[in-house]
Structure 1
Amino acid sequence: MHVMRGIPATAATAALSMALAATLAACGAGEDGGREGGTAAPSAAATTPGAIAWAPCTDIKRPGGQRATPEPGEECGKLTVPLDYADPAAGTIDIALIRFKATGPGERIGSLLFNFGGPGASGVDTLAQAAKAFGALRTRYDLVSFDPRGVERSSGVRCGGTAEMDEYTSVDSVPEDAAERAEIEKVVEGFADACEQTSGKVLPYIGTVNAAEDMERMRAALGDAKLNYVGMSYGTHLGAVYATRYPKNVGRFLLDAPMDPSLSMREHTLAQTAGFQQAYESFLKDCVKDGQCKIGADADAADGNVTAMLEKLDDKPLAVGGRELTQGLAVTAIASALYSEQTWPFLDQALSTAMRGDGQGLMFLADTYTGREPDGSYSTIMSSFPAISCVDTAERPDEAELLKTEKEALKVSPLFGSAGMGSVCSSWPVAGSDESKKIDASGSAPIMVIAGTGDPATPYEWGPKLTEQLGTGVLVTYKGEGHGAYMSGDECVKQVADGYLLDGEVPAEGTTCPKE
């Protein structure tokens, strides 16, 4: 079982991967990290619903551990909101936020809220790592992000401890026989049971519709008449739901690496499988173009060597320290590196060393994707991702439907084909709803949507579809590789996006980057 989610590679994580490419021995190194903790305790006067309690940040995480010193100008806070918007008297939940105040020059526009995707990525940690990449926007905006409900500091969903998470993340991507299929189903069911035992109270209230309602409370608490927003990957879905529910409160909205919320699980799985297969083939072609590719002399040879290695791992996982690199973890590692062209050279090196019996590089890539820290603790990403995804759909496919999807997906890609999120949602302990699939932002200000032709996680065709559903969307096409356009480094994208966010310049229909 292999489930692919969407989180754009930030400048910080891409740089880290490239730095470690020089020495795979560093892949297993790091400080003790991943400790869970809250933001600084707010004063009693600031804890009333509707007010954000701002204080110095005390628990920012970075890859490999917890950051020692705060960044200049940052502050963390929390906003108390209803746990159940249908029954506000049923209790509350605290949403964790982070803010970098505008630096100038220029007149402050307001706040610019970010969601970096997943679903389940920590906006607090990601913005802390990537804030410098948004320096131009910070001249006139307070940069703000948050951990959505069910993520990290905002009552993050957890599904057991290290042993349970290691078992769940290590299962093979595709079962070879009935016995292996039964074992995978047992692991998935055990994972879902652990989620209910650990986080059962919040599971029914985790989801995009409630997160959009939280964003409306954030807008009011930040003092903005309109919500200005950058949503990446899953963040485009969240932004689209907000715009549907509050079209008159939409300010400048940039939706980068768009999702198509209308898709069924089967349609989503097949499209994303094709996207990752396309990115994998692009990686192979790029790898062999200069004769320096470590995994093969040509694309076919390289692919054959990767396939052979994965087959060996299926029979006998590689020992990495006190752990095992399984076939499932290796596929996760490959998918992880396909999110950004910057990590392709590292993938070539990691694959080649694994072929020689050293799995450290692939294990590092897999751990980066699954949120596993060197001390064995996990972030909430692998738990909050299914928690949000399964609440956002009423689908609960049976075994026959899952097998059909898996069979179709394997025809698209023997490497990445699987039954997708349906495998988890079929065992999920709470019901879901299709409410977040209904998108119509009629009456809102123009919303900029930017889709990449080589995006593995959110295929290009989802861009025109979301633009059409919004009714007020303006599509920009990015002709490039990787997941997400704004962080790609393309100057045309940055110029068009910053012109929209800073000066309100709505892109012309048919705008394409890079400029031809």
Structure 2
Amino acid sequence: MKKPIATFLLGALVLTACSTGGTSAPTAENGTAGTAGTASTASTVAWSTCTDLVGPDGKPFTPGPGVECGKLPVPLDHGEPGGEKIDLALIRVKATGDRLGSLVFNFGGPGASGVDSLAMSATAFAKLGTRYDLVSFDPRGVDRSAGVTCGNEFAEIMASDADADQDALLKEFVQACRRESGKVLPHVGTVNAAKDLDLLRAALGDERLNYVGFSYGTHLGAVYATHFPKNVGRFVLDSAFDPSVTFEERAVIQATGFDQALRAFAEDCVAKSCELGDTPAAVVKTVEDFVEGLKTEPVKVGDRELTFWLGQLAVITPLYAKQSWPMLEQATAAARKGNATILLALADAYTGRRPDGTYNTMMTSLQAINCADYAERPTAAQMERTNERVKKIFPVLSFDGVTSGGCEHWPVRGDDEARRIDATGSAPIVVVGGKGDPATPFRWATSLTAKLKTAVLVTYEGEGHGAYLTGDACVMKTVNAYVIDGKVPAAGTTCAA
């Protein structure tokens, strides 16, 4: 989960980081019969050339060979399977060898475009792609799949300074979301996405769903396994999120994770001669003081400013992966000298800002999905208490003066169905947790493993969010052996950094 400023940021940083076959009817939540709330027959997918892929720079992206895009109609309201439909946007990278079936990915968010993500990252899964069609999709409410849009109000929130009336801005944002996406808002959320996922499984012609989920994708996978345990195939949940925790718990646990990541960065930076300080403590203080200073003195970047809220995102973005640590050093050093171009670009990458100043649906979709998935609506007193705890742990993510948790004014009431996890009766599920993961700290991997009841935990002792994506040979070998050969890792499997 991600969120800029407290209304988006707190408790939602977690989640970031595509053969046609015959069809079969999607099975029920016990995997044996038609399920109320899902279509009784599966649609087919018409695959064709991809024409609207977008790269990380917001510009058109041309995929490699064997990549196709398609659409799958699904009910807007799963309670009325014969009613209005929306199209899920899909992408597929066809298997290069002896095909076992399809392997579906969710790359996190909630709100990330699976279509664009797989198009850009398919080479990272080349080994899996020898035996599987690699498939991903934009979940409902995201980007091409009836993506939630909210006018230009989100841009105004991001450009605001620390003294702005954040609650007033949020109310305007919510009104715009209701005005532009009111039809889809009651029907987003992880439970609905899991039902879509089962329709996708059927449309792909697979008896069971083979799945890899990163970050928020672990939540979606866990909810799917809870509702459709008998349809679980080879499941990998990497960088696990435990949806049962409260808003305050999420905020504090993530603050702890990012504090640990910043300190690990500082130690690494000093060991290599660091522009930000001579000791790890000095480096941490430099970064914290710089972000705090943005409250009163934003840094000009052309006709824009690196505000406090954008500065928060700019700093945490490179903490997601150890490979990005040098960028944090260089960008912060340059910004302290008045050039915040790189930091602003990092913040823009996090929020999905395009070159023309508009935004993709990442952050607006995230807000809609999170508000659907949680009945919890923190009070002003809870927000203040949470902020005080966060500031003591990781002041970079402080949110003084913000009294709303983001969903207080949302037009759709949330519920807690997506927080219930129990995959009893499913095939073995592999959960991967990283000891140095800042966004989904390791404790969530252990708790999600226990809640699933059918899972085995693989521990990665290194840094970064998304163990498989670090390229660690042990993690990749373990996951590949399970997904390709069905070899379930032994209990206690650990991959050293």
* CA apart distance, 1:418: 4.2
Tell me, yes or no, if structure 1 residue 53 matches structure 2 residue 32.
no
Could you tell which deviates more after superposition, 190-199 or 486-495?
Answer: 190-199
> Is 1:245 matched up with 2:230?
no
Measured in 2, the distance between the counterparts of 1:502 and 1:478 equals 20
TM-fit CA distance, 1:300: 2.1
The within-5 A match list for 1:337-486 is 337-418=318-399, 423-486=405-468
Query: How much has 1:160 moved relative to structure 2?
Result: 1.1
The answer to whether the Cα contact below 8 Å between 1:448 and 1:474 also exists between their aligned partners in 2 is: yes
1:167: which partner in 2?
Answer: 156
Name the counterpart of 1:135: 126
Residue by residue over 1:255-287, the C-alpha shift from the partner in whole angstroms, topping out at 9 and shown as x without a partner, is 000000111111111111111111111111111
Question: Quick one: distance in 2 between partners of 1:194 and 1:154?
Answer: 19
Contact in 1 for aligned 2:269/2:329 (Cα 8 Å) = yes
Distance 1:281 1:68, change over 3 A: closer
* From 302, 308, 315, the counterpart of 1:334: 315
**The one of 187, 199, 206 aligned to 1:224:** 206
1:157-179 deviations in whole A, cap 9, x for unaligned? Answer: 11112xx222222446xx6xxxx
Deviation larger for 95-104 or 60-69 = 60-69
1:443 match: secondary structure? coil
2:289 pairs, out of 305, 308, 316, with: 308
1:121 partner SS? coil
1:286-338 Cα offsets, whole Å, 9 max, x none, are: 11112x21111112222232233223321121110111111111111011111
Aligned to 2:107, which of 107, 116, 119?
116
Q: Distance in 2 between matches of 1:198 and 1:421?
A: 25
Return the offset for 1:396. 1.4
Q: Which residue of 2 aligns with 1:323?
A: 304
Distance in 2 (CA, whole Å) between partners of 1:160 and 1:257 is 32
User: What is the TM-score with the length of structure 2 in the denominator?
Assistant: 0.90
Q: Deviations over 1:168-213 (max 9, x none)?
A: 22446xx6xxxx3x71111222222221111111011110000000
Counterparts in 2 of 1:70 and 1:492: CA distance versus 1, 3 Å: closer
Q: How many residues align?
A: 465
Q: Percent identity?
A: 53
Change (3 A) 1:370 1:246: same
Asked if 1 retains the 8 angstrom alpha-carbon contact of 2:54 and 2:61, the reply is: no
Determine the C-alpha separation between the residues in 2 that align with 1:396 and 1:338.
29
Is residue 42–residue 202 contact of structure 2 (8 Å, CA) maintained in 1? Answer: no
How far, CA to CA, are the matches of 1:238 and 1:110 in structure 2? 20
Q: Residue 7 and residue 437 in structure 1: after superposition, are their counterparts in 2 closer, same or farther (change >3 A)?
A: closer
In structure 2, give the amino acid aligned to 1:153.
R
For residues 68 and 166 of structure 1, the distance between their equivalents in structure 2, rounded to whole angstroms, comes to 24
CA contact (8 A) 1:287 1:293 kept: yes
Does residue 1:496 correspond to 2:478, yes or no?
yes
Residue 102 of structure 1 pairs with residue 95 of structure 2: yes
Residue 78 of structure 1 is matched in structure 2 by 71
Structure 1: 4+ residue segments shifted above 4 A: 418-422
The equivalent position to 2:244 in structure 1, one of 236, 248, 262, is 262
8 Å CA contact retained: 1:119, 1:388: yes
Q: 1:288 aligns with which of 258, 261, 270?
A: 270
Per-residue deviation, 1:72: 0.4
Amino acid at match of 1:109: L
Displacement after TM superposition at 1:218 (Å): 0.3
Alpha-carbon contact 2:239-2:466 (below 8 Å) kept: yes
Tell me, in whole angstroms, the C-alpha distance in 1 between the residues paired with 2:293 and 2:245: 35
Q: In the alignment, does 2:14 pair up with 1:6?
A: yes
Which of 216, 236, 242 is equivalent to 1:234?
A: 216
Partners of 1:217 and 1:357 in 2: CA distance: 52
Instruction: Name the counterpart of 1:148.
Output: 139
Give the Cα separation in 2 of the matches to 1:109 and 1:5: 35
CA contact (8 A) 1:82 1:88 kept: yes
What is the CA–CA distance in structure 1 between the aligned matches of 2:290 and 2:398, rounded to whole Å?
17
CA distance in 1, matches of 2:214, 2:292: 35
8 Å CA contact 2:292, 2:396 repeated in 1: no
**1-structure distance, mates of 2:462, 2:409:** 37
Secondary structure of the structure 2 residue equivalent to 1:77: strand
Distance in 1, matches of 2:100 and 2:82, equals 35
TM-aligned CA distance change 1:72 to 1:7, over 3 Å: farther
The SS at the match of 2:128 is helix
Q: Measure the CA separation in 2 of the matches of 1:379 and 1:6.
A: 19
Assess, with a 3 A threshold, how the Cα gap between structure 1 residues 68 and 309 changes in structure 2: closer, same or farther: closer
Deviation at 1:70, TM superposition (A): 3.6
TM (normalized to structure 1)?
A: 0.87
Distance 2:14 2:119 in 1: 19
CA distance in structure 1 between the aligned counterparts of 2:46 and 2:430, rounded to whole angstroms: 32
Note the residue ranges of structure 1 that are not aligned, 5 or more in a row: 10-47
Letter in 2 for 1:152: D
Aligned to 1:33: none
Residue deviations 1:228-255 (CA, integer Å, cap 9, x gap)? 0000000000000100111111000000
| Matched position secondary structure for 2:479 | helix
1:391–1:431 CA contact under 8 A, matched in 2: yes
Give the superposition deviation at 1:116.
0.3
What do residues 342-383 of structure 1 show as CA deviations (whole Å, max 9, x unaligned)? Answer: 110011000000000111010011001011012112111010
Instruction: Quote the residue 1:204 is aligned against.
Output: 186
Alpha carbons of structure 1 residues 206 and 327: separation in structure 2 relative to 1, 3 Å: same
3-state secondary structure, aligned to 1:135: helix
